[in-house]
Amino acid sequence: MTDDRLLGDDEAAFIAAARSDDTVRFALLTERYRRELRVHCYRMLANYEDAQDLTQETFLRAWNKRESFKGHAALRTWLYRIATNACLDFLDKRNDRTPIPAELPDAGSEVLYLQPYPDRMLPEDPQDSVVARETIELAFIVAVQHLPPRQRAVLILRDVLGWPAAKAADALDLTVASVTSALQRARVTMREQLPDRRLDWRSPATHELSNDERGAVKSYIAAHERNDLDGLISLLRDDLRFAMLPEAGTLTTTAKDAVDGWVSGGLFQPGHDDWRGISTTVNRMPAAALYLRTPADPEYRLFAVAALRIVDGKIAELTGFDAAGKPWLDLPPTL
């Protein structure tokens, strides 16, 4: 029997709760890990709603397996192991629903289940490795989706969370040699998928938006509210990368062609020209929540969420998410 006196406080309390079937104490001990586990599941799945579900599944599995916890590892480590394997089980079922092309340089928009992650749901006092900006931005999340599930898990455990090879191998029931090989292959794929600016995703990264980023979001919203197409064009780089999910296809286009395409698609036309917007952040990125009011409606209704990457004060990448009629990310549905 494990000597509880040799355990950390959380581990000893967890074992005591498990032995006494104390569901309240169990919930109090595990709830503090919810936010970071949800981020972990999100990196594995690229979908915020699925990450919420799998985090809850993690706690259910932890309760059902509570007698197996002997304190040989930290409670946090044990929960991450359960969460990782729950996500792997889920991915085995999701593969048929959402295939990703094996070779497609601009495959970001092919991850049709991709959802942004609201920053206000990130851990309030996180470890840098949990929510470093470089590993939560959409470009990284999309690139990870091109890895086979177990390579994905290895990369996240080793390079994002900083686990040693032996610890990752134990969590995944693999050998250390298998983990090392999988990590090497995963790093190669990541460097093929990520643009040059993201080659070192393990470096320390700031969480704060720059003044350029804040200013660009404000101007982007203002251009919509004024129907200022020229102003909108001036905000976009001429090598803009644009995607609108859940539609397939990522475009690299000029600023004018991008805006012309939005107009020809019906935006900024009568009936679709009364805009309001609010600044927000998703995935540690600047974002705009855009609200549209149609002539027959007295309220502005949530229409889209645009996640932006800003370079030198201009929008270099715009990933739009159709939010019409959806309760998105706890954003207000109307203004």
Residue 197: per-residue pLDDT: 52
* Nearest-angstrom CA–CA distance, 89 and 83: 10
DSSP string, 191-230: HHHS-GGGS-TTS----SPPHHHHHHHHHHHHHHHHT-HH
pLDDT of residue 90: 96
Lookup result for tokens 């089980």: 89
Instruction: Say whether the peptide bond before residue 246 is cis (omega within 30 degrees of 0).
Output: yes
Burial 5-42 (b: 16+ CB within 10 A, else e): eebeebbbbbbebbeeeeeeebeebbeebbbbbbbbbb
Three-state DSSP class for 8?
A: coil
Global pTM reads 0.85
CA of 310: how far to CAs of 40, 128, 138, 258, 305, in Å?
Answer: 26, 22, 13, 16, 16
CB within 8 Å of 133: residues ≥ 6 apart? 205, 206, 207, 284
Which tokens in the block code for residue 25?
A: 């104490």
Q: Taking the chain (335 residues) in consecutive chunks of 10 residues, what is each chunk's mean pLDDT?
A: 55 89 90 94 95 97 92 92 97 64 42 87 68 83 93 96 95 96 94 67 60 95 97 96 79 91 92 94 94 94 94 93 82 91
- Residues 47, 116: Cα–Cα separation, whole Å: 7
What gap in Å lies between CA 26 and CA 66, rounded to an integer?
A: 9
**Which of 26, 57, 114 has its CA nearest to residue 319?**
114
Q: How far apart are CA 74 and CA 8, in angstroms?
A: 8
The full set of domains in the chain, from first to last, is 4-198 (1.10.1740.10), 211-322 (3.10.450.50)
> Which single residue is written with the structure tokens 């064009």?
233
161 DSSP 8-state letter: S
DSSP sequence for 84-136: HHHHHHHHHHHTTTS---SS-TTGGGG-TT----BGGGS-SS--HHHH-GGGT
Instruction: Sort 292 into a burial class: Cβ within 10 Å, 0-12 / 13-18 / 19+.
Output: buried
Cα(297)–Cα(292) distance, rounded to whole angstroms? 10
